[in-house]
């Protein structure tokens, strides 16, 4: 069973619109969170926060990730840390 913080972070991902393109354990439009966690380290946190906020393209395929300017910076940081921890 998932812990309360993990559920809160999944809920935050849903509320922030992330789950429209991402899933925890399978590729949808964007990569699975578990695949992101395998590719990056905790030291990549600041870069990933900036990428989520600004959007990006080309790293995981041709479909771009739109900017997430409506999501608060602290929420993006929470989500990135949850993803880097394996989105558990």
Q: Can you give the residue ranges of every domain in the chain?
A: 4-84
- Output the pLDDT for position 4: 63
Name the DSSP class of 36.
H
Segment (H or E) for 53: helix 45-54
- Output the pLDDT for position 2: 56
Q: Which residues of the chain have pLDDT under 70?
A: 1-6
Shortest CA distance to 29 belongs to which of 70, 54, 57, 7? 57
Q: Which residue matches tokens 């964007």?
A: 30
Shortest CA distance to 79 belongs to which of 1, 24, 3, 2? 24
CATH for 4-84 is: 1.10.760.10
* pTM greater than 0.95 (yes/no): no
- Output the pLDDT for position 83: 97
Query: Would the CA dihedral through 88, 37, 82, 20 be positive or negative?
Result: negative
55-79 pLDDT, tens per residue?
999 999 999 999 999 999 999 999 9
């Amino acid at each position: 069973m998932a812990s309360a913080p993990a559920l809160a972070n999944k809920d935050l991902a849903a509320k922030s619109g992330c789950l429209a393109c991402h899933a925890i354990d399978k590729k949808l439009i964007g990569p699975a969170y578990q695949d992101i966690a395998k590719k990056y380290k905790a030291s990549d946190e600041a870069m990933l926060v900036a990428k989520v906020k600004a959007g990006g393209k080309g790293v995981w395929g041709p479909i771009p990730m739109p900017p997430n300017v409506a999501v608060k910076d602290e929420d993006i940081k929470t989500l990135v840390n949850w993803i880097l921890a394996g989105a558990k």
